[in-house]
Amino acid sequence: MGVFSRVPDTMDDSRLLLEEHANWFTKTGLKKESIIKTEKITVVHNSIVRKEIGKLPANILVEVREKLRKTLCI
């Protein structure tokens, strides 16, 4: 899945908005409002990842998983 800071005017069902004003947003490590695109799946080797910038709360991860299941039709 990809995280993108360019938020479109309309959102597809496969995407989840990470809103700046949410009380948990600062924990994500993101600098501004972003979207998760579950239709943009990429494999990245561990050696490329340098550090963790933040975390999503459990309830948001549940939403991401649900959207991913719908995107993949599973």
pLDDT of residue 51: 87
Does the pLDDT value for residue 1 go beyond 90? Answer: no
State the total domains in the chain. 1
**Which residues neighbour 18 within 8 Å (Cβ) at sequence distance 6 or greater?**
3, 25, 28, 30, 33, 34, 35, 36, 56, 60
User: Which tens digits make up the pLDDT trace of 20-53?
Assistant: 999 999 999 999 999 999 999 888 898 998 888 8
Domain that holds residue 35: 2-72
pLDDT of residue 2: 87
Does the pLDDT value for residue 68 go beyond 90? Answer: yes
Instruction: Report the CATH number that the domain containing residue 36 is assigned in CATH.
Output: 2.30.30.110
